């Protein structure tokens, strides 16, 4: 099987030439693959191509897209969650999040996750494997086809730890930028933070992409090392002070601000003293705090911070000079927490 999803226009021109076709046939394939209005996902349905060329490609095992739709759930707020099957019978989740001005695709980078964050459903079953770039990109096609709209923004905040799959992550970002025509500035990579990987990410971005303009989002979720270790088991390998220092370096190298994801957990990390501690930790460089209201799951005891208190926490950070926003949960009536849909499907 030869997956051409993620191929550049030059790649596909060369493919056409290799089969005795004119280069423009490769451009036709390119236009078909990356046009969200073309719902068919099979080589033999690219009807702008000569039949004999289609037959050749199909016979040689060329495909664009390996995933298949298993389940989908549409929430009352319009958020669409998809459960997709891989060819080796694993499952991954992706989410389409619409607003009036944009359609954001929340993508997975791995099947499962090895990090085992205590508030997350994804890590309960551990890591199965990492996704290929084509499997990552296929999630965008499914979201666009199901929602009949072009994706405008991409966030790697689904299943998996992106920095444990850097090569395929960056190959997918190259295609998102150049083939799907989505600016790097509209791409966010969310990581729980892995030692030495933040520097590797910036270095490899310049090597593979020629630039590093996407947003790095650190799933911090704590104002000190003790709390972080209690909710993120892997945190004992990476002190919170060292994370912040590596983020400062990332800002210096790329010129891009860092976002800190902070999941508010009632009675755990949402006291005003935690807001003061957090502001002292991250002050003095280009960053932003994204406060998140928790989507509760049955498997853990964490509770959502009441909205009123969440706003007080936000206000406290703002008064300390921290750039901060409060993000409301989307799709909470339809298993919106990462990993819930996959878990529910596995026990049916």
The predicted model gives 321-337 an average pLDDT of 73
Res 211 pLDDT > 90? yes
- 251/123: higher pLDDT: 251
Q: Encode pLDDT of 15-24 as tens digits.
A: 999 999 999 9
| 137 and 57 in a common domain | no
| CATH number of residue 15's parent domain | 1.10.150.530
Residues 34 and 175 in one domain: no
Would you state the pLDDT for residue 347? 39
Identify whether residues 229 and 307 lie together within a single domain. Answer: yes
Between helices 9-18 and 23-33, what is the axis angle to 10°?
A: 130
Q: How many domains, in total, are found in the chain? A: 2
Q: Across residues 168-191, what is the average pLDDT?
A: 98
Given a cut of 50, is residue 128 above it in pLDDT? yes
Question: Given a cut of 90, is residue 210 above it in pLDDT?
Answer: yes
Which one from 94, 117, 247, 338 is the annotated catalytic residue?
338
Query: Cα(287)–Cα(324) distance, rounded to whole angstroms?
Result: 9
Same-domain pairing of 56 and 195: no
Lowest-confidence segment of 118-122, 133-137, 264-268 by average pLDDT = 118-122
pLDDT of residue 44: 87
d(CA 307, CA 246): 32
pLDDT of res. 41: 79
* Average pLDDT of the residues in 276-282: 98
How does residue 348 score in pLDDT terms, banded at 50, 70 and 90? very low
Same domain for 114 and 47: no
The answer, as to whether pTM is greater than 0.75, is yes
pLDDT at 37 (0 to 100): 87
Q: What is the mean pLDDT of residues 5-29?
A: 97
- Find the mean pLDDT for residues 314-338: 79
Q: How confident is the model at residue 121 (pLDDT cuts 50, 70, 90)?
A: confident
CB 336 within 8 A of CB 81: yes
Distance CA 264, CA 328 (A): 11
DSSP states along 17-66:
HHTT--HHHHHHHHHHHT-TT-----GGG-TTS-HHHHHHHHHTTEES--
Q: What is the CA radius of gyration of the chain?
A: 21
The yes-or-no answer on residue 338 being catalytic is yes
* Confidence check: pLDDT of 292 > 90: yes
Query: Of the candidates 175, 205, 208, 178, which has an alpha carbon nearest to the alpha carbon of residue 4?
Result: 175
In angstroms, the CA 102 to CA 97 distance is 8
Decide: 314 and 324 in contact? Cβ < 8 Å: yes
Which of 120 and 74 is assigned the larger pLDDT?
Answer: 74
Catalytic pick among 13, 66, 93, 261? 93
- Whether 146 is a known active-site residue: answer no
Q: What is the pLDDT of residue 116?
A: 82
pLDDT of residue 330: 61
Please check the confidence at residue 136 and state whether its pLDDT lies above 80.
yes
- 299, 124 contact by CB (below 8 A): yes
Do 57 and 77 lie in a common domain? no
Q: What is the pLDDT of residue 297?
A: 74
6 & 113 share domain: no
Do 111 and 21 fall into the same domain? no
Mean pLDDT, all residues of the chain = 92
- Please state, for a pLDDT cut of 90, what percent of the chain lies above it: 84
Of 37-51, 242-256, 263-277, the one with minimum mean pLDDT is 37-51
**In which domain, by residue range, is 186 found?**
68-346
Last residue of a domain, one of 44, 63, 82: 63
The CA-atom distances, in angstroms, between 118 and each of 227, 260, 263, 300, 319 are: 12, 18, 12, 7, 30
Q: What is the CB neighbour count within 10 angstroms for residue 18? A: 9
Whether residues 171 and 258 fall in one domain: yes
Contact (Cβ atoms closer than 8 angstroms) between residue 108 and residue 157: no
Same domain? 79 vs 58: no
């Amino acid at each position: 099987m030869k997956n051409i999803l993620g191929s550049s226009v030059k790649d596909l021109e060369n493919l056409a030439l290799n089969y005795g076709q004119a280069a423009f046939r490769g451009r036709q394939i390119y236009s078909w693959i990356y046009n969200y209005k073309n719902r068919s996902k099979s080589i033999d349905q690219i009807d702008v191509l000569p039949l004999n060329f289609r037959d050749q490609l199909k016979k040689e095992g060329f495909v664009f897209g390996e995933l298949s739709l298993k389940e989908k759930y549409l929430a009352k707020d319009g958020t669409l969650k998809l459960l997709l099957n891989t060819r080796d019978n694993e499952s991954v989740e992706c989410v389409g999040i619409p607003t009036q001005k944009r359609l954001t695709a929340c993508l997975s980078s791995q099947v499962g996750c090895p990090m085992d964050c205590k508030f997350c459903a994804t890590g309960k079953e551990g890591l199965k494997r990492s996704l290929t770039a084509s499997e990552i990109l296929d999630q965008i096609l499914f979201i666009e086809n199901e929602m009949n709209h072009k994706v405008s923004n991409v966030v790697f905040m689904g299943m998996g730890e992106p920095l444990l799959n850097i090569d395929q992550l960056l190959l997918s970002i190259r295609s998102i930028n150049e083939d799907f025509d989505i600016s790097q500035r509209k791409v966010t990579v969310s990581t729980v933070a892995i030692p030495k990987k933040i520097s590797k990410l910036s270095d490899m971005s310049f090597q593979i992409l020629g630039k590093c303009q996407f947003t790095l989002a650190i799933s911090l979720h704590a104002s000190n090392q003790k709390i972080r270790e209690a909710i993120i088991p892997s945190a004992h390998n990476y002190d919170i002070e060292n994370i912040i220092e590596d983020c400062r370096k990332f800002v210096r190298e790329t010129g891009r601000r860092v976002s800190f994801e902070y999941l508010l957990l009632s009675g755990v990390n949402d006291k005003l003293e935690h807001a003061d501690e957090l502001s002292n930790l991250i002050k003095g460089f280009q960053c932003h705090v994204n406060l998140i209201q928790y989507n509760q799951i049955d498997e853990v005891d964490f509770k959502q911070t009441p909205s009123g208190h969440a706003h007080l926490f936000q206000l406290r950070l703002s008064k300390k000079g921290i750039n901060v926003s409060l993000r409301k949960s989307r799709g909470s009536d339809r298993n919106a927490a990462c990993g819930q849909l996959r878990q529910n499907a596995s026990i049916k």
